[in-house]
């Protein structure tokens, strides 16, 4: 196979609780990830010049070894011991950057999946997941997708029943928040009230969308919204427009609203479009 392409889906966090700081500086998290249909498009092809080259639709993203997609390809060849004949990667970015939607992580996971297919599946699912974790805490989830509970620093993953059918309005204010900055704000402000994931997990098991929406929680949201009040304002606006629940995703800055009816979500998105650069209507995906 000389050429292969795939979709790299974004994620939102339905739940995120910071469980403490480890001695190595990593924050232990308990989080519920949900894949959504919004995706980057990733293509890989072989050529004869050696090396790894990347073309990316966003000119300000690095295209060298700092890009997570390139890191993933390097890791694949290291892990498998296969010789890289020469690889072209092409990414059409649709997922906003620095938004808490795992844009870079999902590109990396997609490259790992595509290369494993291209070279005849040399890595087992387990080895792929272990390699993915070295690229970032949410990369193992991005490999599998769907709905899952993650613990530790992303290495413990448990599949969950899917989020019931709904529409998700995703908005991003005109600024990004890096994961590092969000955790620094969390540490500076003394953290957040601890959440409880059990009611959310029970609502997922019952297939109860309104129950899920009542239990949305993100421990990073208070500290980040304290610094960037627009995040709280966007949540309120989404609720006014009919969202059953709204939350900042991951480390921000994107905020989502969950709507039981797609038409209401489309109308809400229309109302927000003039004020924000990034507004989209998407939906949860049960698996990749």
Among 104, 154, 173, 211, binds ligand ATP (CB under 6 A): 104
Does 146 engage in binding with ligand ATP (CB under 6 A)? Answer: no
Does 179 engage in binding with ligand ATP (CB under 6 A)? Answer: yes
CB of 102 to ligand ATP, least distance (A): 4
Among 12, 29, 52, 100, binds ligand ATP (CB under 6 A): 100
CB of 111 to ligand ATP, least distance (A): 9
- In Å, what is the CA distance from 25 to each residue of 111, 179, 180? 28, 13, 11
Length reported for the chain: 288
CB of 260 to ligand ATP, least distance (A): 26
Does 6 engage in binding with ligand ATP (CB under 6 A)? Answer: no
Whether residue 11 lies in the annotated active site: yes
How far is the C-alpha of 198 from the C-alpha of 203, rounded, in Å?
9
| Residue 282 dihedral angles phi and psi, to the nearest 5° | -135, -170
Does 68 engage in binding with ligand ATP (CB under 6 A)? Answer: yes
How far is the C-alpha of 63 from the C-alpha of 259, rounded, in Å?
37
Does 282 engage in binding with ligand ATP (CB under 6 A)? Answer: no
CB of 11 to ligand ATP, least distance (A): 7
Among 97, 130, 153, 266, binds ligand ATP (CB under 6 A): 97
Q: Binding residues for ligand ATP, per CB under 6 A? A: 61, 67-69, 97-105, 107, 138, 179, 250-251
Positions marked catalytic: 11, 138
């Amino acid at each position: 196979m000389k050429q292969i392409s795939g979709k790299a889906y974004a994620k939102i966090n339905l739940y995120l609780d910071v469980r403490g700081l480890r001695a190595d500086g990593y924050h232990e998290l308990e989080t519920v990830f949900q894949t959504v249909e919004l995706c980057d498009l990733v293509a890989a092809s072989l050529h004869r010049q050696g090396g790894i080259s990347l073309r990316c639709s966003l000119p300000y993203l690095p295209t060298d070894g700092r890009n997570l997609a390139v890191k993933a390809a390097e890791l694949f060849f290291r892990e498998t011991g296969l010789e890289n004949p020469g690889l072209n990667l092409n990414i059409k970015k649709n997922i906003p950057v620095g938004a808490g939607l795992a844009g870079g992580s999902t590109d990396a996971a997609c490259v790992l999946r595509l290369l494993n297919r291209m070279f005849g599946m040399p890595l087992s699912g387990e080895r792929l997941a272990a390699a993915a974790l070295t690229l970032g805490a949410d990369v193992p989830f991005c490999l599998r997708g769907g709905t899952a509970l993650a613990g530790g620093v992303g290495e413990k993953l448990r599949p969950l029943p899917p989020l019931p059918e709904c529409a998700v309005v995703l908005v991003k204010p005109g600024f990004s928040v890096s994961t590092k900055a969000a955790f620094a704000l969390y540490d500076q402000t003394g953290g957040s009230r601890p959440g409880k994931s059990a009611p959310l997990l029970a609502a997922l098991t019952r297939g109860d969308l309104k129950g899920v929406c009542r239990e949305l929680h993100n421990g990073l949201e208070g500290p980040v919204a304290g610094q960037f009040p627009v995040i709280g304002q966007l949540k309120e606006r989404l609720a006014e427009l009919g969202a059953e629940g709204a939350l900042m995703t991951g480390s921000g800055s994107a905020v989502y609203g969950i709507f039981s009816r797609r038409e209401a979500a489309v109308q809400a998105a229309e109302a927000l479009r003039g004020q924000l650069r990034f507004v989209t209507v998407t939906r949860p995906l049960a698996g990749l």
